Structure 1
Amino acid sequence: MAKMLSRVAPWLASHRDGAAPDGVTVRTLGAADTAGLHELAGADPVANVFILSHLESTGTAAPTPGGANVLGVFDGDSLVGACWAGANLVPVQLAPALTGAVAAAAHRSGRRYASIFGPAPTVLALHSELENLGHLAHEVRADQPLMTIAGPPAVEPNWQLGFGQDADFDTILPACAAMFEEEVGYSPYLGGRDFYSRRVAGLIRQGHSLVHLNDGEVVFKAELGAVTSDVTQVQGVWMNPSYRGLGLSAGYMAAVVLLAQKMAPITSLYVNDYNSRARATYERVGFRQVGTFATVLF
């Protein structure tokens, strides 16, 4: 890595065309690269839970049937960084100095990306490179504390929370859509209902949907959006507006932690820095910040 960084430094000030530093190349990874990608991502199993979850579920770094792939950055024969390129861009142990070459490769694919998310320095550098190539962001969330808990929660769990069932899909889906619209500012159905509906149904089927239902409505829900044997990442936390302000969130989040720990010892999430109420709840439950993510929405 020191050898690679010594090559990168002279290139930082002048690059603007996506060219990689001498000896560094970018290519789409294949099945033969699976072990190398797993080793690379394993350097930070919390930050890289997304790609590690993908590797555990599919067993390969090869492109998916739907056309998503992983761009690998090589210094000679050594894999020194990577980036998932599907509906979203997700960097994996990617130095900010190498984002120009990745952005160029992502741009050449002609794909439209919904977001970039991951460690803040790399995400913001990748956004800058893509912006130079004409990919204009709708919103940049530059400071999102990445938080984890590895032991018992500090508050009593609310055991009205449980795993969503297939029979509950028609009740859970509207709550998931409401959360999405609150979070990103537009409906998840803009491109049609099928993709998002399949995503929600898949989370329920996998046992990654956590919900409290009362008289046919969702009171609270969350999902385990990425799961490995070491780490889960909580996403989609949502409280029905009728139940907000009643001090219920901490108990539900404590139950989320305990249910997630049935799958992996570390529970993680990331949250917008300006969401002080949510941050206070997570800290009360026992989550502590271990890093900073950023998300760019296109």
Structure 2
Amino acid sequence: MLTVPIRQLGESERATVERILDQDPYAGAQIAERVAAHGLNWWRSDGRIYGYGPARRIESVCWSGAHLVPVCTTPPAIAAFAELLGADPRICSSIIGRSEAVLDLWDRLGGHWGPARDVRPHQPLLVADREAPITPDPDVRLVRSNEVDQLFPAAVAMYTEEVGVSPLLDDGGRGYKRRIAELVRGKRAYARFIGDRVIFKAELAIVTRRTTQVQGVWVDPEFRGQGLASSAMAAVVRDALHRVAPTVSLYVNDYNTPARRVYARCGFIQQGSFATVLF
């Protein structure tokens, strides 16, 4: 039996959850997007939101679904979430969030859930709230709905390179292609084309009223090292700030020195560190 004040949250506590998510709009972005779209009734989305707080005053939350995402957690909150979640088999494909919270959570859950495929303990969280100080690439634009087939091979290449497994394995890539098509329809996918060939791509994977999170940044290997990425990212930042959200955020592996240089040229500032546990 749990000996800590933790419970699943419902729609009546939506304002409380939104207040907590606003305290860390970058770590909480993934949850905030889902709350805005589906509310807190878990059967309307693909996960559940748990809250922690003494005397039933919520001070930390954790989303448990396709991903496990802790927000505004303290060590007692992490212990509580781990006690609850460790009683059941793992359902998430990753744990994502602020480094200290994710690594503490994984220390407590690893014995219950078995080995991870990869643990990335230090991923700088970067934020831009103004246009890049370099000239944007005028050829980077939103991908059109009839260009999903051209974008998809680049998306598969990016995913395989970044995550370490192919998105084609489970269902031949049908689910992943639906997600790419959804981003294109939502005007959240950018690319630079040479003919029908994508040589740069990026997506706004998460959009909230506080930030939009860029993921899937990729340059065709043949064009790397030519300075293309910096001006291309500058174009993405400019459009996202003008059209989508007041800040642009992302997190990057600390060992990816070329990418970190690109983001620095585009004016991104570090706002802490994320960690990711992949299964």
The answer to whether the aligner puts 1:209 opposite 2:209 as a matched pair is: no
The answer to whether the aligner puts 1:70 opposite 2:49 as a matched pair is: yes
Compute the RMSD of aligned alpha carbons: 1.6
* Contact preservation (8 Å) 1:45, 1:231: yes
Q: Displacement of 1:134 after TM fit?
A: 3.2
Alignment partner, residue 164 of structure 1: 143
Query: 287, 292, 298: which is aligned to 2:268?
Result: 287
Alignment partner, residue 263 of structure 1: 244
Structure 1's consecutive aligned runs of 4 or more residues displaced over 6 angstroms after TM superposition are none
Distance, in Å, in 2 between the alignment partners of 1:43 and 1:102 is: 19
Alignment partner, residue 229 of structure 2: 249
Change (3 A) 1:205 1:243: same
Distance, in Å, in 1 between the alignment partners of 2:63 and 2:150 is: 32
Alignment partner, residue 209 of structure 2: 229
Aligned-partner residue type, residue 16 of structure 2: G
Give per-residue Cα distances to partners, 1:44-99, cap 9 Å, x unaligned. 212222112222223x1221445411122232221111111111101121223322
The farther-off stretch of 251-260 and 72-81 is 72-81
Change (3 A) 1:198 1:106: farther
Aligned-partner residue type, residue 245 of structure 1: G
Distance, in Å, in 2 between the alignment partners of 1:135 and 1:101 is: 19
The farther-off stretch of 169-178 and 103-112 is 103-112
Which SS does the other structure have where 2:86 is aligned?
Answer: helix
Aligned residue pairs: how many? 277
Distance, in Å, in 1 between the alignment partners of 2:152 and 2:13 is: 37
The answer to whether the aligner puts 1:33 opposite 2:13 as a matched pair is: yes
Q: What is the percent sequence identity of the aligned residues? A: 38
Distance, in Å, in 2 between the alignment partners of 1:99 and 1:50 is: 18
Distance, in Å, in 2 between the alignment partners of 1:174 and 1:86 is: 27
* Contact preservation (8 Å) 1:233, 1:267: yes
Distance, in Å, in 2 between the alignment partners of 1:176 and 1:108 is: 36
Alignment partner, residue 190 of structure 1: 169
Alignment partner, residue 43 of structure 1: 23
Q: Displacement of 1:194 after TM fit?
A: 2.7
Distance, in Å, in 1 between the alignment partners of 2:175 and 2:48 is: 18
Distance, in Å, in 1 between the alignment partners of 2:43 and 2:169 is: 24
Aligned-partner residue type, residue 97 of structure 1: P
Long gaps (5+) in structure 1:
1-17
Give per-residue Cα distances to partners, 1:194-231, cap 9 Å, x unaligned. 32122111111111111112211111000111111221
Long gaps (5+) in structure 2:
none
TM-score by length of 2: 0.94
Aligned pairs for 1:101-116 within 5 A = 101-116=80-95
Aligned-partner residue type, residue 278 of structure 2: L
* Contact preservation (8 Å) 1:53, 1:226: yes
Give per-residue Cα distances to partners, 1:16-71, cap 9 Å, x unaligned. xx954xxx32222211121111011111212222112222223x122144541112
Which SS does the other structure have where 1:252 is aligned?
Answer: helix
Distance, in Å, in 2 between the alignment partners of 1:140 and 1:111 is: 16
Aligned-partner residue type, residue 221 of structure 1: K
Query: 122, 145, 167: which is aligned to 2:101?
Result: 122
